[in-house]
Amino acid sequence: MDLLLLPGNSPNNKIWIEEVEKQLKYLFVTTTIQYYAHWKNNQTINLEQEITILSTLADTLKEYVVFAKSIGIYLTLAAYSKQKIHPKKIIFLGFPLKLFLAQKSSREVEIMLNALQVPVLFVQNSHDPFCSYPELVAFLSTTILKNYRTYEF
């Protein structure tokens, strides 16, 4: 099994995701980090471009797990709901519900989550400013997503 890692939006996540990769590398055949294009020029992220890059990276892998943080979660959900990626499992770290709801309706977020047909692990900080653990649990209870677990830290 391979690991595809999608960091958060900020270029400050580069060092963090590389450290995560180092810690998890021994568990997987290969590991791949998606480095976002906007990190090079300090622009705003181009979501469609990054979804295309994600799809291209995923196409090089056979069986893989997606590990995604923050904006990487959005990219994963969007690509999966468009059937552009086909991971075996997904790990979401820091689900940014409030950011999603600022851009999309809760129904749109639910539709993307409900499309998931693979096991999902949500790892959430108790007091994450973009979605606390209790807020995440409450929101997930409104979806039809069944094959998931949550972990609070």
Q: What is the pLDDT of residues 112-152, one digit of tens each?
A: 899 999 999 999 999 999 999 999 999 999 889 989 999 99
Alpha-carbon distance of 90 to 67, in angstroms, equals 6
Running DSSP on this structure, what letter comes out for residue 10? S
Instruction: Give me Rg for the CA atoms of the chain.
Output: 15
- Exposure of 84 by Cβ count < 10 A (0-12 exposed, 13-18 middle, 19+ buried)? middle
- Listed in sequence order, the residues at least 6 apart from 98 whose beta carbon sits closer than 8 Å to its beta carbon are 129, 130, 131
- Residue in this structure with the two tokens 């600022």, named with its chain if needed: 102
**3-state secondary structure (DSSP) of residue 54:** helix
State the DSSP H helix or E strand holding residue 37, giving kind and residue range, or none if neither. Answer: none
Alpha-carbon distance of 66 to 39, in angstroms, equals 21
| Cβ count within 10 A of residue 32 | 17
The model's pTM is: 0.94
Per-residue pLDDT of 18-64, as tens digits, reads 999 999 999 999 999 999 999 988 888 999 999 999 999 999 999 99
